[in-house]
Structure 1
Amino acid sequence: MSALDDMLAAMDDAALVALANAGLVRRARKALAEDGAVRVVQRTGAEAQVEALGQVVLIGADGVAKARCDCPATGLCRHIVMAVQHLRETAPAPEQSGPQTAAVPPKSARADIAALSAQDIKAFAGADWPQAQRIAAWATRPTITEADSSCAVLLPDAPGAVTFVAGGGLRKALFKGPDGRRKRFVAAAALVLGGHRIARAQTAQASVDAELLDHAAQALRAALQHGLEGDPLLAQDRLVDVASAARADAAPRLAALLRASARQAGALARHDPGVDPQRYAEDLAQAYALTRALRHAPADPALTGLLRRDYPVRPACTVAMLGAARWDAPSGARGLTLHGWDGQRFVRTGPTRAAGMDPTFSPKGAYVKPWWAGHAPKAMVGHQLHLPAPKMSQDSVLPEGLTCQITGPLDPDALPVQTDWAELARDVAGRMGLGLRAATHPVPALVRAAQIAAPERDDIAGRVLLPLLDATGAPLRVVLPSERWVAALRPEDTALVEIEASRDGRLCRLISLIAPDGAVVNVTLDPAPVPDKPPKATLWTKAKARLSPAHAPVNAKARPIPAVECLADQGLALLGDGPQAQRMAPQRAADLARQAVALGLDPLAAQIRALDPADSDAILRLCWRLCLLRTASQNAQS
């Protein structure tokens, strides 16, 4: 066969779809069925000239992408596709020059790629080899589609499929994504198709690509304008596309922030009642700040996030299992988290599932299924477990399947229980961090109240808050799963709580109650206690109830809002109103600048005065600065 025939034989319809799109190939196939639609003017071993629907097409052995047509369309047109289909299907049979031999099996793209070694793929990838390894290591469920002479590999969150053609190797693989990331995705697809195993240690060295950060920053600037004044759906689509590329390029934290912003854009487009343009601007600002930080530290796991954890073996230890909680994320991810204390630090473990994975999984079901050495989480909490050879990640996560032995019940007196909320605030601030390096998961803590105030109801957020008071009367407002848990908490109990940052300060959720004898009740998994039917009220029982120290109607102190936090809130509200509002009300910005000067924040005042409503970059930078200022003020008041 000639060079032209070899090239055409590899370009089946699946390969043409990879070059163009399915609709164009389908229309070309339909037009090809018409009589006289295609006529071969000239055909040699190196090129062919074809007339398709009156247009002249010239195709050479150097590939379909370089074919030319005299129609006004740019790129791969229907006439070129028709010419390829016709030439391939009317190729002359190979000549028999000698005795008849066995039929030669058709070429296979999958076999070609499977025959390559990891070193061959590494040589092709070049500087993109670390990224290719990480993409391949994370691609646990790729979609592989084989056709006559091509093979397409679609990796999770990739911008497009990689299509290998028979005889084309890696260099002639087809990829619709950005040219700057072509090599890493082609190499990753080849690693997956060839069944090469990538060690986790090898996947930890890749840096986030500068081109990805450019695309993300550009998408965020455009999303600010589209979301607040233009078309939020356009902003949502673009953010989702960049988020997929970020996830595949080993930047899961940036991907999560972009997806959160995309969900906010979708809510803006639907005019959801609870949508908040200010929150949308804040999410965009945080993602934008992360793109700037990753330029300076593209391989810092605190900024990139973790696709996979390494679990080195640690010395033997005993873990006190404090409680368990089920959770679910807006993305659809869900799981079960068990919190423990190993004598030096809080540790956590538990099963999780990503969005769309394992529809049969439920956190409540996992609560009663074996997790460590045949022990279910329900049996583990409330006990001390000895681990002879524990494995633990850098962020204190323990994996599944560890060998352990239950040695006895919890001893509440041996746990790091906080009774002073000022000391608790300092401890949590140290573990939680600030800014882009702040903890991305809730921080656990053990608390014991001196007194419990009357419950409060947050009707807007739909929450029940129970203020726990320390010896000074300072409140720690704990979110309860329901009102039925109000009577369950007693001053002598130890409460395991999760604390996370929120726009209104730190949010504290109740996870479990630890009785003085070490018994544990998990409030999101175990049934709420049903109070006994009260006896008939008498004058004495009514007076005793009013004087009960457990839930006396004590008024908790309200948190004062300092001037710095008020300034940050007003500035964020102005930015969330959109560029049009900023142009229409310049006095608001002038007032904010004067407040900043009065508080000694002259650099912030200068940034506010210089703000241009048309400069998305400046708006996002100011928004992130105000977010940091608000968080710092809240931490100082905690």
Structure 2
Amino acid sequence: MSEPTTSVPRTFAWAAPYAGLDDDALKALGNAGLLRRARKDYAGVTELSHDLKGAVLGVSGASVRVDGRGPAAVSCDCPTAGVCQHVLTACLWAAEVAPEAPPQGAAPVVAQSAPRTSGPGSESGTGAAPASGARRTAAPRGPSEVVLRRRREALAEVRDVVGRLMSGGLSHLGPDDAESLLALAGRVRLAGFEQVEPGRVSGVRFVGLLRVTAGFVSGLAGRDDAVTESDLLDAFAEVWAMGEVLQRALDTGSGNGPAGGEDPAKPTGAASRAEAEELDVARWVPLGARWWNSPSGSRGFAYLGWDSVADTASGTDAGQVRQVVTGRPSGTDPSFQRSWTSPLLWGRSLSTLCEGAFTLTAVRAKPDGTLGAGGTPAVHRLDGDGFDLAELQQIAERTGAGVAPRDVVGFGRRPANVRLVLVRDVGEIGIDEVRQELTLAIVTSEGEERALRLPATSEQAVQTLLSVRSRLVAVTIERREDRDEPVGLFVRDKGAIRLVSPTITPAWTFESSHWDFWRRRIRKLRAQAASAKTVRAVAAPPTPVRRVTLLLGDVLVAAAATGRPVLTARQRSDVEQARTLARDLGLATLERTAGGLLHGELTPSTVLHAAFVVGRARAVADVAG
């Protein structure tokens, strides 16, 4: 009799990068829906060919190439742009044929890809007893050694790529460098840094910073006037600083998993709040919306409102400005377009969400105080037609303080610096030819003169502002890049107060007829073109703190643009002047930063460290001023 043969699962050495590939990593590479469909296709995978470097698989009629470069390099011939379900299916197949990862130390480590067992055998049931020295399920589970190694390699690659691009000089970057950053973002996404404590990085995604940086590189290489070396240097500094934070988290073992004694199946800390916390807003007063387009090609809008919360102890209104930011990446969801009447948020249009005060039930909240765009919260109108002028006056008084300096030192997007002002008088229209902006002078109810600014290239925003300027009651102003941009215009319309958005609301919204509007518009534009003045703003001298940041910032931008490893005589003089001024002002951190530039070589890490510190000091100085 022949002895029964034992089936030995085959493994391939080239598949080592796929060992320990878990659901979290696959969801990061694609999304949860793609992963579910990929698992359905897994049973039908056929191996078309293979060699020492990889294999070609047949997945639901598509041909997929998988090799030793890792999941981020898997390619599919289907017409889907980016990662498709066939790619995830191929990754699942490669993980099955990957060699087993070596154990960490004497005690086995439970990998993130291992399924969570429940029932017999997991604790005290009738199943097989756990091996001696194995961890109990109640003990904390961190990432496997494979996952940790993948994260360390990703961080090392980020340092290498950023250092190479900085060494060559930002002015010499080309389109290929932008493509390399996008590919790097894909590999970083696979490393699963979203599992690190969000509180350590202000809830900002590492992948998002890399993609934004790639957009800046593409814009600078394409000679886009809206992108400067200063913008790109700030983006590189953010990437470098977040990489340092994540590397420290890996080295110290913090931020790599749940705290001891907690259930690893449940999200903890800020991650739990970001995913699961919901709240009810008793009274939401819309303040405006602003459409945006990022250098990476993404587009979306920020929706602003006043969360009116009554303080029962003092009997006053303790409300706050909240915002909802949503958008789509470049090349995705063509139905998501700038529109005043199409449903873009919570299944409703912005025209509906800007009609007046309403309640929000079961709206998602994030750790930074912003509201989430997901879900379908219930919206119920509270008042009649339009807005209450007395309530707008209260909101104007509450928003006068602006943003606290401590709120601008984190990573990523800064909190909205929003203020509502009542309008007493509307002044002249002007054109700032240098900055290519239209300006509209207003006088607030407090007698303060302000110049509202909109990019002259935003034709719709300019038309909307001009069409309602004579009926302005109040304006929601967002302080962005040292200018006051109107994001919400409260206007009188047939006895009621309405809210429009300059960047989203069509100019003829409140006109009786589209053609009547254009006839009046042509007559008005002719008159305004004849009376518009050229604005030559008189620059006020910078504050001492601002002067320190300006001196250091100019030197850092020049060094980064050229890639020079040493300071010129003029640059050294500026840095010495900045260090002396910082010492006189008691700015110890800026003084040390300037000293580091004087006494060492301008390596990429030195320049990026200094740029990050100077950028945060500049943000604090702007807000405090």
Aligned to 1:574: 555
**1:62-461 → structure 2 map (5 Å cutoff):** 63=12, 125=20, 131-132=24-25, 135=28, 138-141=31-34, 147-149=45-47, 159-161=72-74, 170=95, 172-173=97-98, 209-228=151-170, 232-233=174-175, 235-248=177-190, 249-251=192-194, 253-272=205-224, 276-296=228-248, 299=255, 309-315=274-280, 317-343=282-308, 344-349=319-324, 352-364=327-339, 367-369=341-343, 376-387=349-360, 389-394=362-367, 395-398=369-372, 399-408=374-383, 409=385, 410-415=387-392, 426-429=401-404, 433-437=407-411, 439-440=413-414, 442-461=416-435
* Compared CA separation, residues 275 and 348, structure 1 to 2 (3 A): closer
Q: For structure 2, list consecutive stretches of 5 or more residues without a partner in the other structure.
A: 48-56, 75-86, 101-108, 117-141, 195-203, 258-268, 309-318, 456-460, 509-516
Looking at structure 1, the residues matched to 244 and 475 of structure 2 have their Cα atoms a distance apart, in angstroms, of 40
Amino acid at match of 2:286: M
Residue 588 (structure 1) aligned with residue 567 (structure 2)? no
Aligned match of 2:619 in 614, 617, 631? 631
Looking at structure 1, the residues matched to 93 and 500 of structure 2 have their Cα atoms a distance apart, in angstroms, of 62
TM-score of the superposed pair, with normalisation by structure 2: 0.62
Equivalent residue of 1:220, what SS? helix
Residue 498 (structure 1) aligned with residue 498 (structure 2)? no
* Compared CA separation, residues 238 and 140, structure 1 to 2 (3 A): same
Equivalent residue of 1:519, what SS? strand
Amino acid at match of 1:625: V
Looking at structure 1, the residues matched to 597 and 344 of structure 2 have their Cα atoms a distance apart, in angstroms, of 56
Amino acid at match of 2:558: D
Q: Kindly state the Cα deviation for residue 571 of structure 1 after the two structures are TM-superposed.
A: 2.8
Aligned match of 2:500 in 509, 517, 521? 521
Q: Kindly state the Cα deviation for residue 617 of structure 1 after the two structures are TM-superposed.
A: 1.0
* Compared CA separation, residues 429 and 454, structure 1 to 2 (3 A): farther
Looking at structure 2, the residues matched to 522 and 444 of structure 1 have their Cα atoms a distance apart, in angstroms, of 14
Looking at structure 1, the residues matched to 547 and 186 of structure 2 have their Cα atoms a distance apart, in angstroms, of 37
Q: Kindly state the Cα deviation for residue 5 of structure 1 after the two structures are TM-superposed.
A: 13
Looking at structure 1, the residues matched to 371 and 224 of structure 2 have their Cα atoms a distance apart, in angstroms, of 37
Looking at structure 2, the residues matched to 390 and 511 of structure 1 have their Cα atoms a distance apart, in angstroms, of 22
Q: Is the 8 A contact 2:174 2:218 kept in 1?
A: yes
Looking at structure 2, the residues matched to 269 and 553 of structure 1 have their Cα atoms a distance apart, in angstroms, of 32
Residue 562 (structure 1) aligned with residue 543 (structure 2)? yes
Looking at structure 2, the residues matched to 133 and 256 of structure 1 have their Cα atoms a distance apart, in angstroms, of 17
Q: Is the 8 A contact 2:488 2:499 kept in 1?
A: no
Aligned match of 1:610 in 592, 599, 602? 599
Aligned to 2:311: none
Equivalent residue of 1:221, what SS? helix
State the percentage of identical aligned residues.
15
Q: Map Cα deviations across residues 195-239 of structure 1 (whole Å, 9 max, x no partner).
A: xxxxxxxxxx98994443333223222221134376545543432
* Compared CA separation, residues 609 and 316, structure 1 to 2 (3 A): closer
Aligned to 1:199: none
Q: Map Cα deviations across residues 393-413 of structure 1 (whole Å, 9 max, x no partner).
A: 443315442223223232232
Residue 512 (structure 1) aligned with residue 489 (structure 2)? yes
Q: Is the 8 A contact 1:341 1:347 kept in 2?
A: yes
Looking at structure 1, the residues matched to 452 and 155 of structure 2 have their Cα atoms a distance apart, in angstroms, of 40
* Compared CA separation, residues 588 and 389, structure 1 to 2 (3 A): closer
Looking at structure 1, the residues matched to 235 and 46 of structure 2 have their Cα atoms a distance apart, in angstroms, of 47
Looking at structure 2, the residues matched to 279 and 167 of structure 1 have their Cα atoms a distance apart, in angstroms, of 40
Alignment size in residue pairs: 485
Q: Kindly state the Cα deviation for residue 577 of structure 1 after the two structures are TM-superposed.
A: 2.6
Amino acid at match of 2:391: A
Q: Map Cα deviations across residues 59-88 of structure 1 (whole Å, 9 max, x no partner).
A: xx775759xxxxxxxx9xxxxxxxxxxxxx
Looking at structure 2, the residues matched to 3 and 354 of structure 1 have their Cα atoms a distance apart, in angstroms, of 56
Q: Is the 8 A contact 2:278 2:363 kept in 1?
A: yes
Q: Is the 8 A contact 1:449 1:491 kept in 2?
A: no
Aligned to 1:181: none
Looking at structure 2, the residues matched to 163 and 376 of structure 1 have their Cα atoms a distance apart, in angstroms, of 35
Q: Kindly state the Cα deviation for residue 597 of structure 1 after the two structures are TM-superposed.
A: 0.4
Larger gyration radius, structure 1 or structure 2: 1
Q: Is the 8 A contact 1:479 1:510 kept in 2?
A: no
Q: Is the 8 A contact 1:513 1:522 kept in 2?
A: no
Looking at structure 1, the residues matched to 173 and 533 of structure 2 have their Cα atoms a distance apart, in angstroms, of 53
Q: Is the 8 A contact 1:593 1:604 kept in 2?
A: no
Q: Is the 8 A contact 1:467 1:556 kept in 2?
A: no
Q: Map Cα deviations across residues 249-299 of structure 1 (whole Å, 9 max, x no partner).
A: 245632222223223333444455665333322221122122223345674
Q: Is the 8 A contact 2:274 2:365 kept in 1?
A: no
Looking at structure 1, the residues matched to 441 and 344 of structure 2 have their Cα atoms a distance apart, in angstroms, of 36
Looking at structure 1, the residues matched to 497 and 359 of structure 2 have their Cα atoms a distance apart, in angstroms, of 17
* Compared CA separation, residues 346 and 415, structure 1 to 2 (3 A): same
Looking at structure 1, the residues matched to 555 and 358 of structure 2 have their Cα atoms a distance apart, in angstroms, of 53
Q: Map Cα deviations across residues 500-526 of structure 1 (whole Å, 9 max, x no partner).
A: 4x3xx3553433324483322232233
Q: Whose relative contact order is higher, 1 or 2, with alpha carbons under 8 Å and at least 6 apart? A: 2
Amino acid at match of 2:615: C
Amino acid at match of 2:503: T
* Compared CA separation, residues 315 and 273, structure 1 to 2 (3 A): closer
Looking at structure 2, the residues matched to 380 and 164 of structure 1 have their Cα atoms a distance apart, in angstroms, of 41
Looking at structure 1, the residues matched to 245 and 569 of structure 2 have their Cα atoms a distance apart, in angstroms, of 31
Q: Kindly state the Cα deviation for residue 623 of structure 1 after the two structures are TM-superposed.
A: 1.7
RMSD (Å) for aligned C-alpha atoms = 5.2
Amino acid at match of 1:427: G
Aligned to 2:137: none
Q: Map Cα deviations across residues 405-432 of structure 1 (whole Å, 9 max, x no partner).
A: 2232322322465668xx85742236x8
Looking at structure 1, the residues matched to 395 and 280 of structure 2 have their Cα atoms a distance apart, in angstroms, of 27
Amino acid at match of 1:292: E
Amino acid at match of 1:386: T
TM-score of the superposed pair, with normalisation by structure 1: 0.61
Aligned match of 1:619 in 598, 607, 610? 607
Looking at structure 1, the residues matched to 280 and 567 of structure 2 have their Cα atoms a distance apart, in angstroms, of 64
* Compared CA separation, residues 353 and 571, structure 1 to 2 (3 A): same
Aligned to 1:479: 454
